[in-house]
Amino acid sequence: MPVSTEPLYDADFYAWTQQQAELLRRLPTAGNELDPERIAEEIEDLGRSELRAAQSLCEHIVEHFLNLEYAGLDESVDHWLDEIVEWRLQLEKVLTRSIEAKIDLAARYKAALRLVRRLERDVPRLMGRLPAECPYTVAQIVGTGDAEWFPPPRNPHA
């Protein structure tokens, strides 16, 4: 009797795509008109698309965290906060345990630094004030819990 994959599909779409791709690859090919390898690749790509979306959202959230904490541009704060809330809502829709486990904070931080660099023309020496490693946790980025967490602003001249 086959085991239902519906709970996994609903609970962790990324993990389901990886599992289904592996199962497709195990199908016997003799007398089978299916192309299990290509179908498996397409299913894996669906899961990777969700992973890439989560990674991109994390990068933008970290970028705005850094802007909030280090830029000292009061006129942009409300815009940054609004975008963080929007991105967290989008992240909630795609984030699963397996995707969260695959979020490489060091790589996401490196990408976020590239995004922050654009602000340096308005905030000279901004890049020199940023930490070498990501100062935020995945929980802070995702905004888990009852209250939205945002980094407090620092003195931009410190």
Greater model confidence, 146 or 111: 111
Quote the pTM value: 0.85
Q: Return the axis-axis angle of helices 36-66 and 105-116, rounded to nearest 10°.
A: 60
Pairwise CA distance, residues 11 & 17, whole Å: 12
Domain contains 1: no
| % residues pLDDT > 70 (the chain) | 92
Token duo for residue 78: 């409300």
pLDDT digits (tens, 9 = 90+) for 1-43: 455 666 888 889 999 999 999 988 888 877 778 888 888 899 8
Nearby residues of 105 by Cβ (< 8 Å), 6 or more positions away: 134, 136, 137, 138
Residue 145: predicted pLDDT: 67
Poorest-pLDDT segment among 2-11, 14-23, 57-66, 106-115: 2-11
157 occurs within a structural domain: no
* pLDDT value of position 37: 85
* Beta strand ranges found along the chain (DSSP E): none
* Percent above pLDDT 90 for the chain: 69
The answer to whether residue 116 sits within a structural domain is yes
Residue found under tokens 């829709």:
93
Query: So what's the pLDDT on residue 116?
Result: 97
Least confident range from 31-35, 49-53, 93-97, 98-102: namely 31-35
The per-residue pLDDT for 142 is 94
In a domain, 147, yes or no: no
Please classify residue 81 by burial: count the beta carbons closer than 10 Å to its beta carbon, then call 0-12 exposed, 13-18 middle and 19+ buried: middle
Structure tokens at 64: 């705005």
CA 54 to CA 12: how far, in whole Å? 13
Residue 26 exposed, middle or buried by CB count within 10 Å (0-12, 13-18, 19+): exposed
Range of the domain at 31: 6-142
Residue 79 pLDDT exceeds 50: yes
> CA-to-CA distance for 144 and 96, rounded, in angstroms?
13
**Per-residue pLDDT, 1:** 42
Q: What is the CATH number of the domain that holds 10?
A: 1.20.1220.20
Residue 148 in domain = no
Length of the chain: 158
Q: Of the ranges 4-8, 129-133, 146-150, which one carries the lowest mean pLDDT score?
A: 4-8
